[in-house]
Amino acid sequence: MSTGEVRALVRASVESRTPVDDREAQAVARFLDAYDRLAEPFEMDSDPVHVTGSGFVVGSRGVVLLKHKRLGIWLQPGGHIDSGETPWEASLRECQEETGLDVRFAGLVDADGVPELIHVDVHAGGRGHTHLDLRYLIDGGDADPAPPEDESQEIDWFTWPDAIELADPGLRGALIALQPDFR
């Protein structure tokens, strides 16, 4: 898939989102406004505003959250997109790297291997960056997280109610919306 095709697909998937709450509705509008102005939206070095990919890692044990090393808040795994990656590929890679789990996409995946976009958030990413975060549903199995030493060591499976209570407000709406599907 060419960069132009990925760019068009991302825009269409964000534009067609039905937001789970007011925060996501605002994020979708902010995402589209910023995205349309970016020459290279997937390259973190081209602009302080850029697209990132993350995942809600779910399984029979609940949902995985980690305490971000620099920000000190409980979040889903995710991060920057490597050169040549799509946002969904980055989300899967980041989830595997940050959790040490054997992960795969959960939910709907089309014939081209593109998973359904399940949430959009726009937030400060530290170091003056703004992240246009695309979030996907990731199956994490049921093993204990085993992150490498250079990743957050404060990571675990949480029940849905505990995750909703603990999570950063930017993910709370998505967790509430996803919860019935995994009880």
| Second-level CATH architecture of 3-182 | Alpha-Beta Complex (3.90)
Q: What is the pLDDT of residues 137-182, one digit of tens each?
A: 999 999 999 999 999 999 999 999 999 999 888 899 999 999 865 4
Q: What is the pLDDT of residues 90-138, one digit of tens each?
A: 999 999 999 999 999 998 888 888 999 999 999 988 778 899 999 999 9
pLDDT at 109: 85
Residue 13's nearest CA partner among 182, 173, 135 is 135
Report the C-alpha gap between 41 and 66 in whole angstroms.
26
Q: Where are the domains of the chain?
A: 3-182
pLDDT at 183: 41
- The pTM assigned to this predicted structure is 0.94
